[in-house]
Amino acid sequence: MTQYTHIELAEREQIQKALGAGQTIAAIARSLSRDPKSIAHEIKTNRQAIYKGGFGTPRNDCSKRIDCRMTYVCGSCIKGHNRRCASCDLCNSHCPEFEAASCKRLVKAPYCCNGCEKDGRCPQRRYLYRADYADMLARARLSDSRKGMLLSDNDLDDISDLLEPVRERGQSVHHIYVNHADRFPCSERSIYKLIDANLVGIRRIDLPEAVKRRPRRKKPMHRVDRRCFEGRTYNDFLAYMDQHPAVSYVEMDTIESVEGDRSCLLTLCWTQSIFGLALACESQTAREVSKRLQELHSALGEENFIRLFPVILTDRGSEFSNPAELEALGTRIFYCDPMQSTQKPHVERWNREVRCLIPKGYSFEGFGMDDARLVTSHVNSYTSLGLGNRTPYNFFSYCFGQAILSAFGITRIPPDDVMRSPRLLAGKIRKIEKRP
């Protein structure tokens, strides 16, 4: 059966051995189950030119060398002897009447000098097929064919125009690519390579996730109930979920303002849909957290609240240290282990999206509930790879219905209008300069 794969080194070694034994190309092709044209192309493409002359004869590849009687072609003999120039190694490079000789073995099969009876005494340029050299040449050619860039200058300009929302709205490359995949002439991975190579209009520093920020400072803890963790540890959470596998849970956290500002954002994230909700709080206290959840309970109704918040997993911050009051609303509260934010990764990831709109160093002073709804709408309208290139808004609407989103005050933002930049809240937040 004919093969269509690349010829390997073991096959090239068989070709070299067969050529030395005088076998025809057709016989070699049959033994390797290859097409004869493939074997002929392999020999002609990867043969090695060797110009060493014959035994006791100079290197002369001229077709007139036997009958030539020319002397002093160089004007004066460089080598200091008086004899025919045809016997000199410099003949071919200096003679104006040079004509390259041809050999029928090189023009027709086997296209090389392997197995030739005149190999030891032929003064002409030879072509030998050597397996190791042929394999090296083929691999180098294959590697070179995959190098370089196939995009034209016009293609790069088009990509730069499509990526402009990265700088203007803070959108990511993935979000833009998913919603405009039919307009890009290359893959998403290639776009990142073009950005790293500074070949398009944006730089790596313009990407929202490219620059990492320093960890935030710790602040004193003011706990309401020091025994709030009893029966609510992370191991208790795992045991409860094993007993109730059909129950979903929500991760809860807070986003702090700058030092000296008591306000914060209470964030809730549904792990299945990666849908998040941000609620503006006047202070980072347990009373304020209870107040916001009670407002949700009143807006949704007890049945919908229990359906949306059967279990809440949060960290051990002092603002969550009154679980009894929260559980009175119909939910269950559990706490992660100390210094283990990875146990609630979904809300941590969602908080990072919010930080694109409200970076660290910006004050929440004057930031109201309508602003929180605006932030929530933009973050949840952002395309997610983990949701099959859908938005958390669409996934959450499918799971819980549009009425719940209306109760939250969340709206869908068109893909091209999604903002991931502080300019969305221009005039609503202000940057606080650090004291020297």
Convert 204-241 into a string of H (helix), E (strand) and C (coil). Answer: HHHCCCCCCCCCCCCCCCCCCCCCCCCCCCHHHHHHHH
* Integer angstrom CA distances of residue 11 from 8, 14, 22, 42, 132: 5, 5, 17, 11, 11
User: Which residue in 359, 293, 285 sits closest to 329, CA to CA?
Assistant: 293
The per-residue pLDDT for range 308-356, each reduced to its tens digit, is 999 999 998 888 888 888 999 999 999 999 888 889 999 999 999 998 8
Q: Give the count of beta carbons closer than 10 Å to the beta carbon of residue 269.
A: 24
User: Rounded to an integer, what distance in angstroms lies between the CA atom of residue 91 and that of residue 85?
Assistant: 6
What pLDDT shows up at residue 233?
Answer: 92
Assess contact for 384 and 392: CB atoms under 8 A: yes
Nearest-angstrom CA–CA distance, 98 and 94: 8
Decide if 86 contacts 65 (C-beta within 8 A). Answer: yes
Tokens of 82: 């008086």
User: What is the rounded CA–CA span in Å between residue 309 and residue 302?
Assistant: 10
φ, ψ dihedrals at 126, nearest 5°: -115, 160
DSSP string, 67-98: T-----TTSS-TTS--S-GGGSTTHHHH-TT-
Residues constituting the chain = 436
Determine the pLDDT at residue 226. Answer: 67
Asked if the peptide bond before residue 110 counts as cis, ω within 30 degrees of 0, the response is yes
Query: pLDDT tens for residues 141-199?
Result: 887 766 666 677 788 888 888 888 877 888 888 888 888 887 888 888 888 888 888 88
Quote the pTM value: 0.55
Average confidence (pLDDT) over 378-392: 88
What is the tens place of the pLDDT at every residue in 198-235? Answer: 888 888 888 877 655 555 555 555 556 667 888 999 99
The answer to whether the CB of 9 falls within 8 A of the CB of 32 is no
Nearest CA among 389, 390, 378, 383 for reference residue 422: 378
Question: What is the CATH superfamily name and number for domain 234-431?
Answer: Ribonuclease H-like superfamily/Ribonuclease H (3.30.420.10)
Domain boundaries of the chain, sorted by first residue: 9-61+101-145, 153-206, 234-431
List C-alpha distances in Å: 53 to 87, 133, 275.
Answer: 11, 21, 79
Cβ-contact 149, 56 below 8 angstroms: no
